[in-house]
Structure 1
Amino acid sequence: MGLKTSSKTFDERCEENIQDEQMQAALKKAQDAQWIKREAARDQLGNWEQWRELGQQIRQHTLAYLPDYLEQFSDNVEKNGGTVLFAQTEAQAQEYVRQIVEEKKIHNIVKSKSMVTTEVGLDPMFEAMEGVDVVETDLAEFILQMDNWDEPSHIVFPAVHKNRQQVKMIFEKLGYVGSDDPEMLAKFAREVLRDRFLKADLGISGCNFAIADSGMINLVTNEGNADLAISIPKTQIVLMGMERIVPTLKEADVLDNLLCRSAVGQKLTSYVTFAGRKKAEEADGPEDFYVIIVDNGRSKALGTQFQEMLQCIRCGACLNVCPVYRHIGGHGYGSIYPGPMGAVLSPILGGYEEFGELPYASSLCGACTDTCPVKIPLHQLLIEHRTVMTNELNMQHGMDDATMKMIGRVTASPIVFNMVQKVDHLGAGVLAKKTEPSVKNLYQFGGYLDKAPAMAKNWTTYRDFPRPPKSKDNFRKWFKEHQAQKGVATNGHKR
């Protein structure tokens, strides 16, 4: 699949998903439920803001000394008998995996949930390799694979846009006979997947955190599929983003607490695993252990205003509070990283030509920043992206550029601004929907706008944008009269 998930334009994706009422209902339900669970789990921990600050400090410290910790981690993996490979690009990561598969004569692959493996396009590569069979073992990812590799819509709950009836129909293609009861569906998936685990030659996983001083990887899961993927096959490949590293187990413990409570509203998930190459005294585990450390554009953020984005621990909390994500869903972003974190990260990894619309897919309400467990200033980074595109890359042009210049001149001149206020009600009349004033219109000023041209069109198409009041009824006029009645001059001093 790769980083980009759609060939449609941003407007086409949004229009399509805005019409998907079933998806929107599912997201609203998930967001509301996660809010309750997340906040309760954080309250149980106590001193949540101090934990956030500690998480931020750990991530910032690690990024400041990233080369040192990566070298330490690599040395320790190799001391334990494993192999570390550094992939600068998506193509290089694919080639490393391909070489291992061919060298080990791999036929059956099981994968646990991993955003990085999707980012570098491993699944399409395996599909094109003759004699190689791959299956996603995370239940949600398995559902998407069986549905002709449908796109994930959330970084923690990839199939949140599907309901139980849709899952039942997907499983019926595999021979399922039964109801749409979630327990029955999960039992069927378990039966199918258990056989695949036992046949697997290769297990592939991601990495929540890599432990620098021990060379172990840390996996946080709820289903146990990752533990099977790293214990049964004789060969294991771990793909990790270069920033997903911590100095010691102590820091991993802190971040696991932040991750579990923020991602799924639990004190800890069912399985928190620390693993590596099989030791001589162990009964299971991989005999051949490979870690591929992926850059794929991440280093472009180091030392820039976007470095803080590399603090991300992929909890998905920002998606669960975002009003834009709530309406357009994960597919609207056209990236495997949706929501606020994706709107910041995708342009870093894939460039502005591919993902330049995403920083504008935000109301800048700041809810994402407020909920982030490692205090990434997400809405500020979205503004930084806009600044780069407008000022440095000169990507604002044409009608948008002319409109913004005109607005700037009008709002910068008190005389012109006051003149506009006197005629804005009359001028907006030709753009207003001719309806009787109602609660939906927000204010009783003769309808709401729905025909605005150019860059304002999206506001009036999708929002109840009220027609401005007459000058005699506007706030400034009311405030001036109100102050006069109180005996206060317009400069704020009593007469």
Structure 2
Amino acid sequence: MAHADEAAIFNKNEAKVDWHDKALWFVRQKRDKSAHKVKGWEELRNYASAIKANVLSNLDTYLIQFEENAQKNGVTVHWAADAEEHNKIVHSILVKHDVKKVVKSKSMLTEECHLNPYLEAHNIEVIDTDLGERIVQLAQEPPSHIVLPAIHKTKEEVDVLFQEHLGTKPSNGDPQYLTAEARKHLRDKFLKADAAITGVNFAVANTGGVVVCTNEGNADMGAHLAKVHIACMGMEKLIPEEKHLGIFLRLLARSATGQPITTYSSHFNKPAEGTEMHIVIVDNGRTEQLSREDFRASLHCIRCGACMNTCPIYRRSGGHSYNATIPGPIGSILSPGKDLTKHSSLPFASTLCGSCSDVCPVKINIHEQLYKWRQIVTKDVPQPVVKKNVLKMSGNVLANSKLYGFVGKSSRFMLKHTPKFLIYSKLNAWGKARDLPEVKGDNFEEWYKKRQKK
């Protein structure tokens, strides 16, 4: 279904929509307060954007440098052209070590590649250890947000979910109790795991190391206890040197949740004695996006989720309405690049207000890219007949000043004298929860001409 149809399902529960909206706006406000406390915040954004642009312009060089340095550290590096190859590589490593149980920290790349169902189909247990990810895994749902994967669920819903799957007692959604029960449940999984899979927030070319940022320490727990650590990274996650981490780590947590820094910023440079470390570098459409001049800056994204927290459409339509791994404004740029027909409605799920671009820590021109996708979609994807005709008529009206004046005058007359029940009918969905402004007799041009005569 199109985004609007999926959003309509989410909007049936108005109380939950209001709660979802307020919860995300609260995170946006925390971001603003945290950012305003940093002297030179805009300079940090400029630096981060420039570093990412440099990496994308020299991606081949940095990738080779990263691979060479990682191999010097004793890390095995793999290359995957797409999701299928990524999944096969991960599976082959697990088979080699006879792994039956895996703990995984949050990784949007593995979500993108649908790694969990692939491994489960091969009789390997995969447990997501990020609390939010574990919640949606138990609910058999995809994440609805890249930083807050279970933001669409209330604590009461989590309470019921834990009763069903973890055997907890009813607690009326007590967060402290539910968190403690989740900790006990996950500790057992960590201790019994044969391998750990993590994502990668940043990969440092001049050291060959990777950095994983978490608030729960679950990546550390998994990687340090298991004998095999597999880090899965999109090829755009590179930064040139370790000194650049200071810029991105200051931007990431503040943009994501308003924190000064994530609780754990874990550096994995080489395997501990008696263990193995593997890094799987994945393309999966990234080089194709890189080749699109208008959209290559979307690869700057550091997955902070700030654009989602501020977007008035995302906040009131929910992440699942996007039917994509990465929802929200940035996902509405990335997804059409992978399947334009399937995701043709996403660039229109925006007011083009520009708030997403304003909060983006790496200064991606998100709203401009969404507008450019709209132009491509309307050209390449068949549009509904009604929509095409309405837009064509609107274009004719807007292109003819006399016709525009006549239609405007007629509309004002109709709105002023037509019975209210006809104006606020089922055809006017916008008027369901709001009134139109009071209609005056003249428009600005008519008022101005009368004033000039006087």
What TM-score, normalized to structure 1?
0.86
Partner of 2:317: 328
Residue pair 2:424, 2:431 contacting (<8 A) in 1 also: no
CA distance in structure 1 between the partners assigned to 2:143 and 2:435 by the alignment: 33
Q: Per the alignment, do residues 394 and 140 of structure 1 end up closer, same or farther by CA in structure 2, a change over 3 Å counting? A: closer
In the alignment, which of 311, 315, 320 is matched to residue 304 of structure 2? Answer: 315
Of stretches 290-299 and 34-43 in structure 1, the one that deviates more from structure 2 is: 34-43
Partner of 1:481: 450
Gaps of 5+ in 2: none
Partner of 2:49: 56
CA distance in structure 2 between the partners assigned to 1:462 and 1:388 by the alignment: 32
- Root-mean-square deviation (CA), in Å? 2.2
Partner of 1:451: 427
Amino acid of the residue matched to residue 420 of structure 2?
K
CA distance in structure 2 between the partners assigned to 1:327 and 1:236 by the alignment: 38
CA distance in structure 1 between the partners assigned to 2:401 and 2:319 by the alignment: 43
Residue pair 1:433, 1:448 contacting (<8 A) in 2 also: no
Q: Per the alignment, do residues 126 and 171 of structure 1 end up closer, same or farther by CA in structure 2, a change over 3 Å counting? A: same
Partner of 1:438: none
CA distance in structure 2 between the partners assigned to 1:26 and 1:141 by the alignment: 20
Shift in Å at residue 462 of structure 1?
A: 6.3
CA distance in structure 1 between the partners assigned to 2:155 and 2:235 by the alignment: 37
SS of 2:341's partner is helix
Residue pair 1:425, 1:468 contacting (<8 A) in 2 also: no
Partner of 2:352: 364
1:120-163: CA deviations, max 9, x gaps?
00111122122x2111100111111122x222111100011111
Residue pair 1:87, 1:293 contacting (<8 A) in 2 also: yes
Residue pairs, 1:9-408, within 5 angstroms? 9-130=2-123, 132-147=124-139, 149-173=140-164, 174-177=166-169, 179=171, 180-280=173-273, 287-304=275-292, 305-348=294-337, 350-391=338-379, 393=380, 395-396=382-383, 398-408=385-395
CA distance in structure 2 between the partners assigned to 1:462 and 1:361 by the alignment: 20
Amino acid of the residue matched to residue 63 of structure 1?
L
Shift in Å at residue 352 of structure 1?
A: 0.9
Residue pair 1:449, 1:460 contacting (<8 A) in 2 also: no
Shift in Å at residue 414 of structure 1?
A: 1.5
Partner of 1:491: none
1:7-33: CA deviations, max 9, x gaps?
x44343111011123432332232232
Residue pair 2:344, 2:381 contacting (<8 A) in 1 also: no
Residue pairs, 1:458-477, within 5 angstroms? 460=430, 464=434, 466=436, 469=439, 472-477=441-446
Shift in Å at residue 447 of structure 1?
A: 4.5
Q: Per the alignment, do residues 76 and 10 of structure 1 end up closer, same or farther by CA in structure 2, a change over 3 Å counting? A: same
Shift in Å at residue 433 of structure 1?
A: 7.0
Q: Per the alignment, do residues 410 and 72 of structure 1 end up closer, same or farther by CA in structure 2, a change over 3 Å counting? A: same
1:426-479: CA deviations, max 9, x gaps?
56799x7734xxxxxxxxxx9556526xxxxxx647674739947x33333233
Residue pair 2:196, 2:229 contacting (<8 A) in 1 also: yes
Shift in Å at residue 279 of structure 1?
A: 4.2
Shift in Å at residue 394 of structure 1?
A: 5.2
Shift in Å at residue 405 of structure 1?
A: 2.2
Q: Per the alignment, do residues 483 and 24 of structure 1 end up closer, same or farther by CA in structure 2, a change over 3 Å counting? A: farther
Shift in Å at residue 376 of structure 1?
A: 0.3
Residue pair 2:160, 2:170 contacting (<8 A) in 1 also: no
Gaps of 5+ in 1: 1-7, 281-285, 436-445, 453-458, 486-495
Shift in Å at residue 278 of structure 1?
A: 2.0
CA distance in structure 2 between the partners assigned to 1:178 and 1:411 by the alignment: 60
CA distance in structure 2 between the partners assigned to 1:289 and 1:433 by the alignment: 72
Q: Percent identity?
A: 37
Shift in Å at residue 343 of structure 1?
A: 0.9
CA distance in structure 1 between the partners assigned to 2:198 and 2:149 by the alignment: 16
CA distance in structure 2 between the partners assigned to 1:35 and 1:84 by the alignment: 37
SS of 2:386's partner is helix
Number of residue pairs the alignment of both structures matches? 451
What TM-score, normalized to structure 2?
0.93
Shift in Å at residue 170 of structure 1?
A: 1.1
Residue pair 1:198, 1:232 contacting (<8 A) in 2 also: yes
Higher Cα Rg, which structure = 1
Q: Per the alignment, do residues 395 and 317 of structure 1 end up closer, same or farther by CA in structure 2, a change over 3 Å counting? A: same
Partner of 1:434: 420
CA distance in structure 2 between the partners assigned to 1:474 and 1:163 by the alignment: 48
Residue pair 1:23, 1:329 contacting (<8 A) in 2 also: no
- Higher relative contact order (Cα pairs below 8 Å, separated by 6+ residues): 2
Partner of 1:3: none
CA distance in structure 2 between the partners assigned to 1:279 and 1:93 by the alignment: 24
CA distance in structure 2 between the partners assigned to 1:279 and 1:176 by the alignment: 37
Residue pair 2:101, 2:195 contacting (<8 A) in 1 also: yes
Amino acid of the residue matched to residue 266 of structure 2?
T
